[in-house]
Amino acid sequence: MPRSRINGNFIDKTFSIVANILLRIIPTTSGEKEAFTYYRDGMSAQSEGNYAEALQNYYEAMRLEIDPYDRSYILYNIGLIHTSNGEHTKALEYYFRALERNPFLPQAFNNMAVICHYCAYSDRGEQAIRQGDSEIAEAWFDQAAEYWKQAIALTPGNYIEAQNWLKITRRFE
C-alpha cells in the first residue's frame, strides 16, 4: 500500500490529497507523476524519521525525475537525511549536487554553513587547536561565512543569527 494511503497525520493527508489533485490536472508524463509520488512518499517517511525508507523513495525519484529543478530538491532532502545522521561529508556532497542544478537554494547554503561551523567546533577543530593548528578551525569558520553570505544574498531577511555571527566575527563584508 502506498505510504500516502497509510499516513495518519492530518497535514500529510492534506498534502497528499492536494498533490494527487494536482497530479491529475497538470499535464505531466507518467514518469514525472511516478517520480513525484516517490518524492512525496520520501518526504512523508522523512518527516516520520524513517530515513532508510525516505532514501529509498528519493533514490527512486532521482531515477525517474529528469527536471534539474525538481532533482535539486530531491538531492537537498537526501542531504538533510545525511546531516541528521551525522554523515556530514555525504550531506555536503548532496547539497553541492543540489546547488549545481539549482543555485537558488539558500537553505542548502545555510546547511553547508552550519556543517562547516560545527566542524570548526567539533573534535576535528578542537583537536587541531590543541595541536597548535588553529588555522584549520579558522578555515572551517571562513568557509561557513562564505556559505552564509551566499544564503543571505539570496534571502536577505533570513538567517539573522548567521548575520549576527558574521558581524561579531568581522566576516561580514
Model confidence pLDDT, tens digit, residues 74-96 = 999 999 999 999 999 999 999 99
Task: Provide, rounded to the nearest whole percent, the portion of the chain with pLDDT above 90.
Answer: 65
pLDDT score for 33: 85
Alpha-carbon distance of 48 to 165, in angstroms, equals 32
pTM of the model: 0.82
Average pLDDT over residues 121-137: 72
Average pLDDT over residues 96-113: 98
pLDDT higher than threshold 80 for residue 144: yes
| Length reported for the chain | 173
Average pLDDT over residues 34-57: 95
Alpha-carbon distance of 102 to 58, in angstroms, equals 17
Q: What is the DSSP string of 75-115?
A: HHHHHHHHHHTT-HHHHHHHHHHHHHH-S--HHHHHHHHHH
pLDDT score for 109: 98
Task: Provide, rounded to the nearest whole percent, the portion of the chain with pLDDT above 70.
Answer: 80
Alpha-carbon distance of 94 to 96, in angstroms, equals 5
Per CATH, the number for 10-87 is 1.25.40
How large is the angle between the packed helices 30-47 and 68-84, nearest 10 degrees? Answer: 20
The structural domains of the chain, with segments of one domain joined by +, span 10-87, 104-172
Lookup: cell for 169: 566575527
Average pLDDT over residues 122-143: 77
pLDDT score for 1: 44
Average pLDDT over residues 108-129: 83
Alpha-carbon distance of 156 to 22, in angstroms, equals 32
pLDDT higher than threshold 70 for residue 28: no
C-beta atoms surrounding 129 within 10 Å: 15
